[in-house]
Chains A and B, each alone.
Chain A
């Protein structure tokens, strides 16, 4: 097991190098020039060139890549071209809101979706099943920003019971402000994950319910609740855990719309702003960071399988 973990961690190194190279080349070969953005409307071509030189952007691409890789090995993701702040500091500033939003969303989604999916599978074809499936289709179909604006309209503008926007840290501002500010974004973002997880849970549990050992359990006279909780859900867990894991990874990198609608200063907005401004060091640093999270989450998911399925061994 330990050997497997070390091997997987070791394997992340070539993956990260390939990602780094790909991202670097993609950015340098795409149109847009941060020096032109900085120089503004009044700059002459000479001014823009001077800024490019100061930023090191007029060096050959190979030299730029080697310089960046050298810093990377020392744990330095670079400095933002515009704000002059270290990329690690910018990521650290934005990490907490995104992580907390991802965490509350995934916990809420699991709490709602797994029971819903299980009940739908157990009562397949019934009105409950149809209702859950209807909700799933709706959840996939409603754009996040539409739902966000609707929730803001009622909860913040009409009823004035929750704030419109912003993020409060549970560690610095306290739990109450944190909860007040995280409720609407979590609700908004959860809908699609509840829909996804409920469908996946339903399909997995339905498949397991057809297995011989479930029939045997029923023949033994076990109650339906025990069959469902102990035998069906446990054995259906592997694909559900996979979807949850992928969901976390997607949430960390893909909450930009929710962060914009609720004005949460998270990683999603950082990457979007950086792309629009061509702030290369931030984009490179963030994509590397997201890749690392994906790789680590995949490892954690794979290790989690052993908890649910004793047949899986590493």
Chain B
């Protein structure tokens, strides 16, 4: 009885606090600050303060929730929670696999399904809102899902072929299929699919602030919108993490111990751990950032350095690539996106799958 209770508490702790909700949501909100800040710097602006995403969520929590008169209330209110549940499960699963190697056969397939959950919930919620703008957004989101799911799954098939047909993420994360022609192709296409899944700029067709007035999210307000913002922030953690695990060999299980190791710098009080030094640099630059734009940039750099020292360098790499794509491309039309994903990406991946199969059959690793 007590053992069962203990197990239940441990499970709840995993899901709600450490690798699950609290950790991933905070991590994601900080990552979304980095996205906004770097975009601002690219546009030669100053950008939002560090806690801005947290302020936004807290503010939305305190606002009135308006539900359109003709909306299907249950679905409209339930959809954000369904999306949150999906991304919560996925984040807990991926972090547990990273930290503890808890894996089961076929978890990559479960992960692929769970990744689609937030988008499906978004479609449900927006089509329940009885708004014509949201309806257009819904149609676009559906077409977008149909276009990027095919290349994404093909990309994972390349990885499964390359890693010898294993369907467990922990086993896949031991290898780096990206160091081969087919793996590289699959990685690049999967990166673009992730961009579309996150709803970032070349593929933010469904939200389209300028012509649809934030499209699918149009009718959401108050706490429900806050839930969507948190879901989007968590996706920003989970999707790059998944890409790292599948293509780049995963994050080290002891990914936090990099911060606990003693630093090579000698101080009067001995060799402080790297984490403490980063924390001090952090607080100092954070306080000074209130006075100067340039120290603000320093704060950003120290945050990224902390991530890299903590062994999250591969995650940072993917986020940087995503930000670069976001800031250098204009939005495409939905038909252009479909053509791009089906014809170009699909064709490239068909070639990649054949290359991978040939490489496997003849034992050529670099194919």
Q: State yes or no: do A and B come from one complex.
A: no
Binding site for B on A (CB under 8 A): none
